[in-house]
Chains A and B, each alone.
Chain A
Amino acid sequence: MSEPVNKDAKLPAKFSNWFKSRGWDLRSHQRECLAAARAGQSHLLIAPTGGGKTLAGFLPSLVDLAARKTEPDAPRRVHTLYLSPLKALAVDIARNVETPVREMGLDITLETRTGDTPASRRQRQKYHPPDILLTTPESLSLLLANEDASTYFKSLKAVILDELHALVANKRGHLLALALARLRAHAPGLRITGLSATVPDARPLIDFLTPQNAPGAPTAKLIRAADGAKPVVDILTSEERIPWSGHSGRHAFLEIYEKIKAAHMTLVFVNTRSQAEITFAALWDLNDDNLPIALHHGSLEVERRRKVEAAMARGALRAVVCTSTLDLGIDWGDVDLVIQMGAPKGSSRLTQRIGRANHRMNEPSWALLAPANRMEVLECIAAKQAIEEGVLDGESPRAGALDVLAQHILATACAGPFHPDALYTEVVSTSLYKDLPRKDFDDAVSFAATGGYALERYEKYRKIVKNADGTYRIRDKRAAAQYRLNAGVIVEAPTLNVRLAGKTSKRPGYKLGTAEEFFFEGLAPGDAFYFAGEVLRLERIEGADVVVTRTISDKPRLPVWGGAKFPWSTHLAARVREMLYNPETWSAYPDQVRDWLEKQREVARLPHPDKLLVETFPYKDRFFLVAYPFDGWLAHQTLGILLTRRLERAGKQPIGYVPTEYAVSIWARQDMSDVDMDALFDEDMLGDDLEAWLADALLMKRTFRNCAVIAGLIERKHPGQEKTGRQVAFSSDLIFDVLREHDPDHILLRAAWDDAAGGFLDLARLQKLLTRARGTVTASPLARVSPLAVPVMLEIGREIVARSASEEMLKNASEAIIDEAMGGG
């Protein structure tokens, strides 16, 4: 069904006049979207930022609504739904779309609905729906769980999914996929428009838009806007010594500051909130010119973040140090330089970030990469090449999660009786659940009804009840209310508020932001630390408040946020592997990096791109084993755990391990050079060893908690009784242990396992790594530490403790009491 650009897709006079008044022409991709919409065809528009993407998405609906002939007072129903990954984005987009509506004098109503929308407005939206409703996946699911959902949505004509590439990347995408299937059932013939940044593989996004199990049904049409000008990417070639390890990029701060001074407005992207704090503090130390430089990250008070965004939009700032919180969103002011501090991790993410600069299509964006260490120099070069070749990376979306499905089943029952056969057909019509076995679906239904335990104890407490005709309904109003309170797939980690101590009273005052509880674990009262761009002194913790005062300190501490690490893309990893093994490419590298690699070639081996290099050497009074798979921190962490267990059994007395993006290092009391490396890296380690470790792993318990909350096993909150995140965390650990012991095949454990495998364990990658390693492990016993090993060796002490260390820690703390007693204290 690929139509050529349709001449019929002409704009009505009102619209073409408005375009003219703005001095705009209808772009060809906008025209194509209009034509597809007119043919009732779902479509995916891929366009770079600044390509008029939003307007292209809304234009067909605006044209359609403008031509509508209705009685002025006739009841209206929602015509178009707009869904965005960010609440703030929905609000900004509403404002942007209101402009043409107002200027053309169209009789079209537009409203947003998010978690922040007041109850009165939500109520009004129920009885007087706007023509265009802008909302989020969570709010849509809640709307669909209303008893009148089928009437509410029966006249729906179009759905616009903004930043689709970001929406589908996680469980919100799973929730959305299921919600779209419901919408299609309520409004047959629904047209879905996806808007996306450039992605390496558009197929998963195209499939997301239409039902997958209707043979002969048209697939969504792919529409590509013309590429903007290629970005110009430079790598900061520092005059300073490039560090061996670390991620702060400290050596480059002065040079970064000079670049900011020379530019009009700069976005300084970093990978973690800690890095944001260091970078911000360092830039202000250098800021003799008093440039307005701001800070923006996920722990800051929302109000503060909004102020920074507004100041950017006004052009009142010269630079903003930010994390991924500014990856997405509408245009904020005239950014002309994007600096990426530290490794970019993937070319798609980098492209997105670079796209924040220069939103005018035809002018190139300018980006500067500032590697924080020598290894990152290679990664930055790889990323620059990838961008120049227009090669993107990205992993394909995971199959739909079972915990999200369980939530959806409850939601569906809240709206009205459903037949399991019909709902199953609907669920497998989505691209993410199309391979879902019927058994998994039935297990999810059974879970939603009674918990789905092998030991059937809860029959009389069923939450969904079977009717005589084979359909299921929700048990009662309370069960429906429970669903509502737990709806959504974002599970917040337990957090504490950071507040300045009140001046007069003892009551804590101004809130600076929030941070996860474990952020404060290593801090004691009196400690100074960086937060929200200031140096603060921890006074005391009162309930959920961390009370602080402003202070001056030479050495404030930098607590570590436990945020998720960006996965290192397979694509960049492969490039770096190739670069290392090709000395002829080294001439382009900075001297320090080239010398380092030359030295490695001279005294040790270079890692072959298709093999696995494993070095062993003694250092100080320990023995080391360093493997170089170049498969990312996550896979290396899992590998480190498993190798350690295996080496323990081999009597090598391993003490600890540390992963980096490139390598994993293990140290032990015994020499490991005589280990049979092929056997050590045998794939069977993914069996029992992994299972045994996971039983106790903190991350596994956190993953389980998220699944349990999403699936509705544990409540986030009761009506009238807020629970803090901490309590949920506590009880879910006990539940995890008990469930594992007695019902190891339970659906929630399967859901948690799927999350872990695709998430913090990165099993898919580890599996590939081990397959590649089969028969190709190159053992390289050395007399001393190799140049290539230096970066990972320097990470030791900053990272990770092996499992037995908890016991060790208790022993040490216990010995302290003896000292205490002996010292008479």
Chain B
Amino acid sequence: MNDTHGPSIRICNEELIPDPLGALYWPREHTLIVADLHFEKGSSFAPKGVLLPPYDTRTTLMRLRALMRRYCPLRVISLGDAFHDGDAEMRIDPADAEFLTDLMSETEWIWVLGNHDPEPPARFAAQTHNEMKLGPFVLCHEPQTAPAPGEIAGHLHPCARVRHEGRTLRRRCFAVCSGGERLVMPALGAYTGGLNILDEAFAPLFEAPVAWVMGEEGVYPIGAHSLAPDPGAAWKDAVKQGARG
């Protein structure tokens, strides 16, 4: 698997495969870990008169399905904020609801709850946890600001702005502690924004984060030398609110 998927990330001496779609596969446990699906984020703006294309849930589901076809996991763990708001699961289009139910029936399914979806979903019932311990890992939505070895979290929607040879690219990424103690997952949802890994929100978590940046074909570890902050504070604040609030 290593050969086909490029380098793996080692956290607490476990081998984890980062997928360019934005998920983590843990071969030893046959477990697929995803975060921040934000189903129905698109339709959540409609009451405010912003009528975004209502297809984000379907795109996110298609990503999930592609990942499940690729790794054939025995277990899928979603690290919180799977539903954008309390009403989201009821808004899901019937066809998409069936799509999700089908995927859930294929494997063991675990919802870790997040700040956007603090209640267990009623329509898509499965195991739910506020936090889950599995092997050396603590799987949760919101990362602790204190040192937390073994923590795999979501919530922050890490992005990296890679600067190299006079060009820059902004991509979603895995935020990984350089010592391999903990990791923050990228958001998988089709309409999710991102927070620059150099933002102060990451500072208490990592001394020197390495960004595992998602390309088309692979995920590439990029060091601090090649990372740049985002210009535009107003924009940063807005995304922060979008990512966390």
- Contacting B223 at CB < 8 Å: which of A520, A801, A806, A816? A816
Closest residue of B by beta carbon distance from A475: B49
Contact B221 A817 (CB under 8 A): yes
B residues within 8 A CB of A522?
Answer: 166-168
Contact A812 B223 (CB under 8 A): no
- Contacting B55 at CB < 8 Å: which of A517, A727, A741? A741
Please, how many angstroms separate the alpha-carbon atoms of A522 and B168 in the complex? 7
Q: Could you tell me the distance in whole angstroms from the C-beta of B172 to the nearest C-beta in chain A? A: 11
Contact A724 B235 (CB under 8 A): yes
Closest residue of B by beta carbon distance from A544: B232
- State whether the Cβ of B234 lies closer than 8 Å to any Cβ in chain A: yes
Q: Could you tell me the distance in whole angstroms from the C-beta of B63 to the nearest C-beta in chain A? A: 11
Chain A contacts with B in 333-374, Cβ cutoff 8 A? none
Q: Give chain A's interface secondary structure class.
A: helix
- Contacting B232 at CB < 8 Å: which of A494, A737, A809? A494
- State whether the Cβ of B27 lies closer than 8 Å to any Cβ in chain A: no
- Asked whether A541 and B190 contact (CB < 8 A) given A715-B50, A735-B53, the answer is no
Chain A CB count within 10 A is highest, among B43, B222, B226, for: B226
**Can you list, as one digit per residue, whether each of A715-736 has a CB less than 8 Å from chain B (1) or not (0)?**
1000000111011001100110
**Among all A-B residue pairs, the 7 with the closest Cβ atoms:** A543-B233, A451-B51, A817-B223, A814-B220, A742-B55, A813-B164, A726-B235
A residues within 8 A CB of B162?
Answer: 809-810, 813
A residues within 8 A CB of B52?
Answer: 451, 713, 735
- Asked whether A813 and B235 contact (CB < 8 A) given A457-B43, A522-B167, A738-B55, the answer is no
Q: Could you tell me the distance in whole angstroms from the C-beta of B234 to the nearest C-beta in chain A? A: 5
Contact A520 B231 (CB under 8 A): yes
Contact B234 A814 (CB under 8 A): no
B residues within 8 A CB of A820?
Answer: 223, 225
- Asked whether A713 and B51 contact (CB < 8 A) given A520-B231, A543-B233, A811-B220, the answer is yes
- State whether the Cβ of B47 lies closer than 8 Å to any Cβ in chain A: yes
Closest residue of A by beta carbon distance from B41: A734
A residues within 8 A CB of B230?
Answer: 726
Chain A contacts with B in 265-318, Cβ cutoff 8 A? none
Chain A contacts with B in 797-815, Cβ cutoff 8 A? 801, 806-807, 809-814
A residues within 8 A CB of B62?
Answer: 741
Closest residue of A by beta carbon distance from B233: A543
- State whether the Cβ of A107 lies closer than 8 Å to any Cβ in chain B: no
Provide a sorted-by-A list of 24 A–B residue pairs whose CB atoms are within 8 angstroms.
A455-B54, A457-B54, A458-B46, A521-B167, A522-B168, A714-B50, A723-B238, A734-B56, A735-B52, A738-B59, A738-B190, A738-B191, A739-B53, A739-B55, A806-B216, A807-B216, A809-B162, A810-B213, A811-B220, A814-B221, A816-B222, A816-B223, A817-B221, A817-B226
- Asked whether A479 and B238 contact (CB < 8 A) given A731-B191, A813-B220, A817-B221, the answer is no
- State whether the Cβ of B217 lies closer than 8 Å to any Cβ in chain A: yes
Please, how many angstroms separate the alpha-carbon atoms of A546 and B223 in the complex? 25
- State whether the Cβ of A496 lies closer than 8 Å to any Cβ in chain B: yes
Chain A CB count within 10 A is highest, among B56, B164, B222, for: B164
Closest residue of B by beta carbon distance from A816: B226
**Can you list, as one digit per residue, whether each of B153-184 has a CB less than 8 Å from chain A (1) or not (0)?**
00000000011111111010000000000000
**Can you list, as one digit per residue, whether each of A779-807 has a CB less than 8 Å from chain B (1) or not (0)?**
00000000000000000000001000011
Size category of the A interface is: 35 or more
A residues within 8 A CB of B217?
Answer: 807
Contact B53 A453 (CB under 8 A): yes
Q: Could you tell me the distance in whole angstroms from the C-beta of B209 to the nearest C-beta in chain A? A: 12
- State whether the Cβ of A438 lies closer than 8 Å to any Cβ in chain B: no
Please, how many angstroms separate the alpha-carbon atoms of A593 and B201 in the complex? 60
- State whether the Cβ of A463 lies closer than 8 Å to any Cβ in chain B: yes
**Can you list, as one digit per residue, whether each of A108-125 has a CB less than 8 Å from chain B (1) or not (0)?**
000000000000000000
Please, how many angstroms separate the alpha-carbon atoms of A451 and B43 in the complex? 11
Please, how many angstroms separate the alpha-carbon atoms of A635 and B166 in the complex? 26
Please, how many angstroms separate the alpha-carbon atoms of A458 and B91 in the complex? 11
- Contacting A806 at CB < 8 Å: which of B169, B190, B225, B226? B169
Chain A CB count within 10 A is highest, among B191, B220, B232, B238, for: B232
**Can you list, as one digit per residue, whether each of A492-505 has a CB less than 8 Å from chain B (1) or not (0)?**
00101000000000
Closest residue of B by beta carbon distance from A730: B193
- State whether the Cβ of B229 lies closer than 8 Å to any Cβ in chain A: yes
Q: Could you tell me the distance in whole angstroms from the C-beta of B228 to the nearest C-beta in chain A? A: 8
A residues within 8 A CB of B168?
Answer: 521-522
- State whether the Cβ of A482 lies closer than 8 Å to any Cβ in chain B: yes
- State whether the Cβ of A746 lies closer than 8 Å to any Cβ in chain B: yes
Please, how many angstroms separate the alpha-carbon atoms of A524 and B168 in the complex? 11
